[in-house]
Chains A and B, each alone.
Chain A
């Protein structure tokens, strides 16, 4: 009959099979250690709430690094301080599970300080059991963020001095400054009344976890007789006499009744849905017949340069997109980084039938220069016999190269006449098409709706392409 006997709770493994050595029936904890009591309260709650079979416990680094020996649940052992990060993804991977992050005060408040804050702030569906024993247990008694003022540890041999070591960190209060957490309590293991309060807090936190009500944490003041160098009972008394005034007990927050369950989405893996979502229904990229006229450059490499904001990069994207639609291999390489921020930008576009090697147009067949510095910088590298289209609205010098074709096109002016200098990139694209014969005007216009949305915008860009195209054809004839 359940309830009529208090025995090792079902949340524990009968035999600690992962524990090395012969002692597979008892814990690795020191006599009188608070970890064991908290373990028992958790294991009992898992059994009573009937969640042992859907709980995942995250073991930290600290004395509870081996918590996975004991809990008859799914278990992950994780790097020092990172348990809240791991718990985050574990709970999202298994939204139906109860995920517990079990951590000591070095783990949670020192190395993992940011992780606990952020997980709490996201309101993750996890429960954190936080053992505050004011010391680093596992490594032999060094100072923790929670170490009391004046308290001697192996790294504060003269006592913790706030002037050099800071003050005891009040984690529950800190987390209570965040909006997201659902349940925050601090309890203690120093006597049976408080152990029972801890028991109630553990259950409440897990209950909210089962209901998917977000983040809950129980900070538990806990004995470390070994490193405090006290007996077990003396350690309980030490909590009562020294820790309580620094770490007041109580429920700091309980919003369980108000909080709506957090539902996580189910991942969609069906190939048909994936294809649809990525827009992969359109078949092969070869949609357009290439123009009848032989292009001036069969595999052109193009450089476009100007001020940032002149549409340099997007002009390149338009050309690359057009090339793609005609079934070419295309590449587009932007300048990026400080240069872009400093106000100049350039990109290289290659449009070829074969494999594209270097994607930088180091000897471009076509240079489109939208401002003077760009023309001065890139004119020298244009391939002999190449074409330089320069923006005669803004560039008041004429190019000096005699072995290339030079086309003066008032790109900014034409765009401005259309009422929007933003369409310079499309004017440039039109000019490029006319100058190279690589793309047909009608094809570009037909493609515009796939590149821009909104009828007015498409119409404006159509006019821009035409303006650039017609201007260059006007020069040619």
Chain B
């Protein structure tokens, strides 16, 4: 297995190429542009399609078309572009089309800035377009995971015929780490039962219209069943030093890296603290978080690069047994370990 030093954004494209992604349709935006640039470099070398679309609306619709033709396909963007993609994502979800979207989150609202934030959580994790739908959301916290989870996103997207997101941020996208490059997939799933191929055998239809109210309701219920199955089978999270912990910090993506250092530093001072890191944000690790109080956790602190989005889901999961405290920074600011340690000692009266 080869190891390479690469940027998170680049690693995502490696993951896509290894997963057999045949087409990339995108539009530049910092801090996600390197994904388009890496795809522009690598895809044509393998006869795969790279196209810079006229806008994000176009690119997600190109994704819709390629996905409808049964191809593994991806796009990537950041907040302002993800907002534009929501229409197409709703259509992808409504037509049960598998595709992968990488969101390298930046500061908002509006044009905001290009610093790292995690403020797209709600618009991505809750299915940000119109209608009742969800997308699978995976949140890498390293360049390795940018590669691995992008590959996994393709697999899950196909398994459930649903859009899948890799939700990351400017820090993970821009930084470089050593990445162990996995093997390329050897074969792709057969989608001829539903994909449009333009041949005599597969005159399929890709469509999200159900005129009859009962039919649309039935379709929504089928989607719901799918989401339930995803919630049952695809929850992913990581725990670090949680075994005997009395305090838990919760965070995903780049902030979970800082929280790991927080845990190590606080442990050195004798504080029994651990890190709970959701890797899948949809499905959300509800029951694992719900069980924290019964496992001896007395206090929970959710830390994120937003003014409070993940924390709502943490509190829903906790169901009132505990109320998570919250610490967030925005605008491109990433709190340092010592800043968070200060918050912990202030909140819980522990000496760190």
Residues of chain A at the chain B interface (Cβ within 8 Å): 18, 20, 53-56, 58, 65-66, 68, 72-79, 82, 85-90, 92-94, 96-99, 114-115, 117-118, 264-269, 271, 273-275, 277-285, 317, 320-321, 323-324, 328-334, 336-338, 355-360, 362
Contact = CB atoms under 8 A, between A and B. Distances in A.
B198 A56 contact: yes
Contacts of A274: 17-18, 46, 184
Contact of B53 (A85, A87, A329): A85
Interface string B99-133: 00000000000000111000000000000000000
A92 B43 CA distance: 14
B206 A115 contact: no
Contact of B175 (A89, A90, A282, A332): A332
A78 B177 contact: no
30 contacts: A20-B212, A20-B215, A56-B196, A56-B198, A74-B196, A74-B199, A77-B206, A82-B88, A85-B62, A89-B62, A89-B65, A89-B69, A89-B73, A90-B68, A93-B49, A99-B198, A265-B44, A274-B184, A275-B184, A280-B2, A283-B1, A317-B5, A320-B5, A324-B178, A333-B171, A336-B31, A336-B114, A337-B31, A355-B260, A359-B177
A267 B47 contact: yes
B332 interface: yes
Contacts of A320: 5, 176
Contacts of A96: 198
A408 B58 CA distance: 55
A311 to B, nearest CB: 16
A281 B2 contact: yes
Contact of A356 (B170, B254, B257): B257
Contacts of A75: 196, 203-207
B205 to A, nearest CB: 5
Given A76-B68, A77-B206, A267-B46, A85 B198 contact: no
B298 interface: no
Please indicate which of the listed interface residues B114, B196, B212 has the most CB atoms of chain A within 10 Å of its own CB.
Answer: B196
B61 A86 contact: yes
Contact of B178 (A53, A266, A267, A329): A329
Interface stretch (B156-164, B225-233, B281-289, B333-341): B333-341
Interface string B179-196: 001011110100000001
Interface string B27-44: 000110000000000101
B266 to A, nearest CB: 12
Contacts of B175: 331-334, 359
A99 B69 CA distance: 12
A243 B248 CA distance: 71
Contacts of B25: 89
B51 interface: yes
A264 B69 CA distance: 16
Given A114-B55, A330-B176, 8 more contacts: A74-B203, A76-B64, A93-B69, A97-B199, A271-B183, A271-B184, A359-B254, A362-B336
B200 to A, nearest CB: 4
> What range describes how many residues of B lie at the interface?
35 or more
Contacts of B63: 89
Nearest to B210: A20
B91 interface: yes
B202 interface: yes
Nearest to B260: A357
B3 interface: yes
Nearest to A281: B2
A359 B257 contact: yes
A86 B42 contact: no
Contact of B65 (A76, A280, A324, A330): A76
A85 to B, nearest CB: 4
B293 interface: no
A277 B2 contact: no
Contact of A268 (B48, B66, B115, B334): B48
Nearest to A81: B57
Contacts of A20: 211-212, 215
A86 B25 CA distance: 11
Closest 6 CB pairs of A and B: A97-B198, A285-B3, A89-B65, A357-B260, A357-B261, A93-B69
B174 interface: yes
A93 B198 CA distance: 10
B269 to A, nearest CB: 15
Contacts of B259: 357
A345 B301 CA distance: 33
B203 A283 contact: no
Contacts of A278: 14, 17-18, 42, 181
Contacts of B61: 78-79, 82, 85-86, 89, 115
Nearest to A355: B260
Nearest to A282: B2
Please indicate which of the listed interface residues A277, A333, A356 has the most CB atoms of chain B within 10 Å of its own CB.
Answer: A333
A118 B51 CA distance: 12
A273 B64 CA distance: 27
Contacts of B221: none
Contacts of A98: 198
Given A74-B202, A281-B2, A333 B183 contact: no
Contact of B46 (A76, A264, A273): A273
Contacts of B2: 279-285
B330 interface: no
Please indicate which of the listed interface residues A58, A66, A93 has the most CB atoms of chain B within 10 Å of its own CB.
Answer: A93
A76 B196 contact: yes
Given A78-B91, A269-B188, A68 B205 contact: yes
Contact of A266 (B47, B54, B88): B47
A373 B254 CA distance: 28
A55 B200 CA distance: 9
A338 B30 CA distance: 11
A433 to B, nearest CB: 17
A94 B69 contact: yes
Nearest to A354: B264
Interface in B308-337: 332, 334, 336-337
A83 to B, nearest CB: 8
A93 B114 contact: no
Nearest to A56: B198
Nearest to A269: B20
Contact of B260 (A65, A281, A358, A360): A358
Contacts of A86: 61-62, 64-65, 68
Contacts of B17: 274, 277-278
Please indicate which of the listed interface residues A73, A115, A317, A337 has the most CB atoms of chain B within 10 Å of its own CB.
Answer: A337
A174 B210 CA distance: 36
A280 B6 CA distance: 13
A118 B42 contact: no
A285 to B, nearest CB: 3
A349 B107 CA distance: 24
Please indicate which of the listed interface residues B14, B53, B114 has the most CB atoms of chain A within 10 Å of its own CB.
Answer: B53
A330 B49 CA distance: 32
